[in-house]
Chains A and B, each alone.
Chain A
Amino acid sequence: MKVEQISIFLENRPGGLENVTKVLKDANINIRTLFLADTADFGILRLIVNDVDTAKKVLKENGFSVGRTTVVAVEVPDRPGGLHGILEVLSRSDITVEYMYAFVERSGENAVMIFRFDSTDAAIDVLLKNGITVLPGEKVYSL
């Protein structure tokens, strides 16, 4: 039920992001969604791609500092209070969200959010027990 995400350390400088997209383009990799966390000096680019293994390999070959992290894709009802309901469930169980971002594509009638939790397995457990849909990686990579 987990999704593999690639994290790349980037300095803040012109062309920094472009170097990443070029490498991915040349390897024919499709970016499904991305999220950039930035500070004054550096950023961390998080990517979900259609082919994690190849993406990681080519990025490494091109000298990037690449990490692989596990995140969770959750279906969020597309109506007022949809996200709130999910966060309520999580906070009741003492699960901390490290960060989250939205997925571009929808899953049926629902929006898709990507979550990074402090304890991934426990979070998935809580979500499933509360009847919330967690999307498997294979589905997310090809949404």
Chain B
Amino acid sequence: MDRRLQYILFAVWVLALASTPFWASNYIVRLAVVVAMYSALTLSWNFIGGFAGYPSFSTAAFFGLGCYAGALAQRAGIPMVLAWGVATLATGAFAAALGAIILRLRGHYFAIGSIAVVEVVRLVISSWGSLTGGGDGLNLPLLSGGPNAVARIFLIVMVTLMIVTFLITVYVDRSRLGFGLRCIQQNEDAANMAGVNITLYKVIAYTLSALFCGTVGAAYASWTGYIDPTDSFSIIMTVKVPVMCLLGGPGTVLGPVIGTAAFTLLEEVFWANFLDYNRAILGAVIVILIFFLPGGLLAISYRGLGARLFGRRKAAA
């Protein structure tokens, strides 16, 4: 899909999400917050998973760290928005340090290492009871004004975060960095030989993939007012985010946003009808995605599809 069209679609989508309070029910507004939040996470994952092609499953570790860093900062008396900043920096620093170590691994080893990070951070947080409240979790002051007004505030916050990650994606996509990351994705050794500073590029991509997960996590903690280790470091989230990105089209600018929207839509439709089977539905989406949509929704040739539907085969060729 043409880049300019992707930008236009994104702008339309932002307007649609941001305007939900004016035309939709409170349920839809809440859903819009979740969509914007996951879009920011998926766009973040896209840096390492999409552009660089590294199978990172550590999103939940960054999100959870963001939750806790933000919550602890807020409890230490730092104002809310500043606390989010603290969480962002803390998560980014953690990812940069971690990335320098585990990005030396490739393939399955990297994937497993990145999952282990989620588990280790979760176990450390839940056993460090004196600081983090352990399994009991932490409470945060709720914003005043009732849940609906609060949802509106966080809608603005999450949409802003989504826009920021999108703008960075656009920048990376057009810059040297994006080019280098694509080289790494295709053939890391060749990229290295051709003079791409692969270690630096990978660490930057990994840090970018974590930075805004931290902010989103901290904002999420302030939104819900309560966090605990199981909720913050969910293994489902760590897989859902890559799946959303794969669904839309990894390594593209708009793919993560489309994937998140499509996935949430599917989830809503099925969730309402088959409450007990939400994990199986996620599983089925994965299987269908891998067999029938290998490049994601953006990779489908819509012109060819339309031509096939209407029997104009010549137009497709």
Q: Are A and B a genuine interacting pair, yes or no?
A: no
